[in-house]
Amino acid sequence: MLTVLDNEKNTISEKFSLSVSDPVAIIQQAPEKGNTSTTYAFGANSSYSLTSRLKFYTWELFDGDGSKIDTLQGKSIKKQFKKPGNYTVKLTVEDEMGQKNSDTLNVYVESTPPSPQFSITPTNKRQYPSEFYLDAKASNDIDVSNGYDRLTYEWVFSNPNAVQIVSTEEKNKKITVLFNETGKHLVTLKVSDNYGKTEEITKEINVESILRPELTILHSFPTRRSSDLSRFVRNLRFGELMFDFL
């Protein structure tokens, strides 16, 4: 009870209830923010007991739906969360007298940004010197590997008027492109996940030629010499180009 007395000897009293917890559980977290690639550390070093000593430290982890996903023991724990979203970490401490106390902490785990990568391969340099195969299969995302995300792929060219997309595969992950201008062209791959994260990478393609060599033989040969012609044209060279005949 608290009683207040003024100069005229008037008094006023108020009753208060005071609850003292012992032991006291306190959670410490590091880092404060992270994603599905982050290993979080949770510690109970600030927890204490005034009348006894702490004996047990129990950690319970819950997902955003309130379902328990893990139970761990120890003064400190480490945890990497596989799925982006909200989680609750609960610490219960127990002292040698059997007294318990709990503390809870909400943790928001962001998605890991995708890591874009792609390879550039000429399709047939001799027949199609300006056609290339672009393959983004080397791109990765830990959330995809864990089964909680999907990626989308977008290709951007420095001169879109000078390129034609011949074909696409696996929902734009792999494409074949044909350039109609020589010179250096920049290709940018943008990879996005379902959580709004987008990363990109840019590479350069040097197109040395857009010519497609063709050879037409108009002169007719006697049938009896067709075998000689066949042996001759199979290895016919014109400048630096090699022509194949079936």
pLDDT in tens, 7-21: 766 777 777 554 456
d(CA 203, CA 41): 38
Confidence of residue 125 (pLDDT cuts 50, 70, 90): confident
Over residues 167-194, mean pLDDT:
97
> What pLDDT score does 231 carry?
47
Residue 113 backbone dihedrals phi, psi, to 5 degrees:
-60, 145
> What pLDDT score does 6 carry?
67
Confidence of residue 4 (pLDDT cuts 50, 70, 90): confident
Over residues 170-197, mean pLDDT:
97
d(CA 17, CA 52): 24
> What pLDDT score does 222 carry?
53
Over residues 25-83, the pLDDT tens digits come to 999 999 999 999 999 999 999 999 999 999 999 999 999 999 999 999 999 999 999 99
> What pLDDT score does 245 carry?
44
Over residues 206-225, the pLDDT tens digits come to 999 998 765 555 555 455 45
d(CA 237, CA 243): 6
> What pLDDT score does 234 carry?
43
d(CA 140, CA 64): 26
Is there a contact between 93 and 21 (Cβ–Cβ < 8 Å)? no
Confidence of residue 1 (pLDDT cuts 50, 70, 90): low
Does the N-terminal peptide bond of residue 31 adopt cis geometry, omega within 30 degrees of 0?
A: yes
Residue 79 tokens read as 């945890």
pLDDT exceeds 70 at position 183? yes
For Cα atoms 88, 93, 99, give the angle at the middle one, nearest 5 degrees. 130
Is there a contact between 187 and 202 (Cβ–Cβ < 8 Å)? yes
> What pLDDT score does 12 carry?
79
Residue 230 backbone dihedrals phi, psi, to 5 degrees:
-60, -45
> What pLDDT score does 239 carry?
37
For every residue of the chain, DSSP letters joined together read -EEEE-TT--EEEE-------SSB---EEESSSEETT--EEEE-TT-B-SSS-EEEEEEEEE-TTS-EEEEEESSEEEE--SS-EEEEEEEEEEETTS-EEEEEEEEEEEPPPPB---EEEEEETTTEEEEEEEE-TT-B-HHHHTTS--EEEEEEESSGGGEEEEEEETTTTEEEEEESS-EEEEEEEEEEETTS-EEEEEEEEEE---------------GGGHHHHHHHHTT-EETTEE----
Query: Each residue of 153-164: b (16+ CB within 10 Å) or e?
Result: bebebeeeebbe
Residue 157 tokens read as 């060219």
Over residues 135-177, the pLDDT tens digits come to 999 999 999 999 999 999 999 999 999 999 999 999 999 999 9
Biggest CA pair distance of the chain: 139
d(CA 147, CA 111): 12
> What pLDDT score does 236 carry?
42
Over residues 68-117, the pLDDT tens digits come to 999 999 999 999 999 999 999 999 999 999 999 999 999 999 999 999 99
Does the N-terminal peptide bond of residue 114 adopt cis geometry, omega within 30 degrees of 0?
A: no
